[in-house]
Amino acid sequence: MSTTTESRFSMGQGIRLIDDAGNEYLDGVSGTFNLSLGYNHPYVVEKIQEQVGNLTHMSSSFTEPYVEEVLSLLLEEAPNGIDAGWMRDITGSTANECATKIAQKYTGERDIVSLYYSHHGQTQFATGISGNAFRRKGFPNSTVPNSLHVPVPYCYRCPFQSDPDHCAMQCIEALSDQLEFGGSGSTACMIIEPILGNGGNIIPPMEYFKQLRKLCDEHNMILIADEVQTGIGRTGYMYASTLFDIKPDIITLAKGLGGIGVPVAAVLMQSRLNILEKHEHSFTSGSNMISLTAARSTMEVVSAPGFLESVRSKGELLGNLLSPLAELYPDTIGEARGVGLMWGLEIVDADGAPDSRKANAIIDMAFRDENLILRGSRYGFGNVVKVRPSLTVTEDEIVEIVGRLERILQK
């Protein structure tokens, strides 16, 4: 997509972006999947404006009461015994580092396990623990953490060529083998995205999560759910961990927590894991007052009665409109998969092989010909076109997004 060279956007409202020439675009992917409440949500804007007038920053030594307010909203709907939190991060990358540091400190162990194709951030450490090796290729001399990557439960293209309806969960077996025989023999944790976001909107089967929890218990490993993309209502539930019954020990959040794109992150955990000293993981702008205000007002909106129900019913509509496209255009769409407002179209060639060039062409044409913003994974595993509008999208807008997309598919 050539937005950076061709367009200068100067205004946003809801899911619409308007450029200097007055052209209006529909954003089908919530910015960088982070505008959970769309551009310039009025309530969040009002609260931030109020806050800017009062106090933009103070040392994190004094922000505790404000952090507690956000955490109490976050913890209200948190799953199974998750009752503590840490809000000294600005990005998802360092929130994941925080979670892995906790796991290492708590267990006294070292290695971090993750899935192929996973994405956990872009610091050197977060890139190292991610399964998408192409992001490391340019840095052959970088220091990488002790991390192990295991096959992804990607049923549409099972890495073991199994039939997903009759499979023996070889992906779990591979993980089990890795834990027994791989790495340093000292494994602190497994980190997993409930839906692999950048990896292609891959949704592991529920049984995988069940077996994963069992393995983590057997090996005394901490289970970290990286909900940077799936958290804060994206799947129609506050946390995808609840939807898939993952029972994680730690949940990391960023992106959608800032509502209108304000950078903020959080790490939620069982209180036994709340063991970091402040000097062990803090950043100058972590728990900044603007970020905390954005997070608090976003949580007020998302946890209001009926909000998540509406995300679920809009998600159903989006799924009902996208799913038939795979049957209508089998030479282009191999599978449409998603939950809530987190969908991906796996783009294939006429033989069913992954076709990232076609995926990129669809994204480019959507932008150029239909003023529709979509995103894919342009590098590495890049044949999935993502559709993830803001949670505040209307039903009419969903119909409009899919209508514009279908016009591209017809070309």
Query: Residues in the site for ligand PMP, rule: CB under 6 A?
Result: 91-93, 96, 119-122, 193, 197-198, 226, 228-229, 254
Nearer to ligand PMP, 31 or 402 (CB): 31
Nearer to ligand PMP, 79 or 261 (CB): 261
- Which one-letter amino acid corresponds to residue 405? L
- Return the H-helix or E-strand segment holding 171: helix 170-181
Nearer to ligand PMP, 234 or 408 (CB): 234
Tokens of 357: 């060039």
Residue 405 Cβ vs ligand PMP, minimum distance, rounded to whole Å: 22
Residue 115 Cβ vs ligand PMP, minimum distance, rounded to whole Å: 11
Residue 165 Cβ vs ligand PMP, minimum distance, rounded to whole Å: 28
Helix (H, G, I), strand (E, B) or coil at 267: strand
**Cα–Cα distances in Å, from 125 out to 67, 185, 356?**
26, 20, 28
| C-alpha 165 chain-centroid distance | 27
| C-alpha 203 chain-centroid distance | 12
Say if residues 159 and 196 touch (Cβ distance below 8 Å): no
Nearer to ligand PMP, 94 or 332 (CB): 94
Say if residues 322 and 313 touch (Cβ distance below 8 Å): no
Nearer to ligand PMP, 241 or 332 (CB): 241
Which residues are paired to 18 by β-bridges?
11, 24
**In the chain, what are the helix, strand and coil shares in percent, each to the nearest 5?**
40, 15, 40
Q: At CA 178, angle to CA 99 and CA 208, rounded to 5?
A: 70
Nearer to ligand PMP, 10 or 284 (CB): 284
Nearer to ligand PMP, 121 or 259 (CB): 121
> How many residues are present in the chain?
411
Say if residues 382 and 347 touch (Cβ distance below 8 Å): no
Tell me which residue has its CB nearest to ligand PMP. Answer: 92
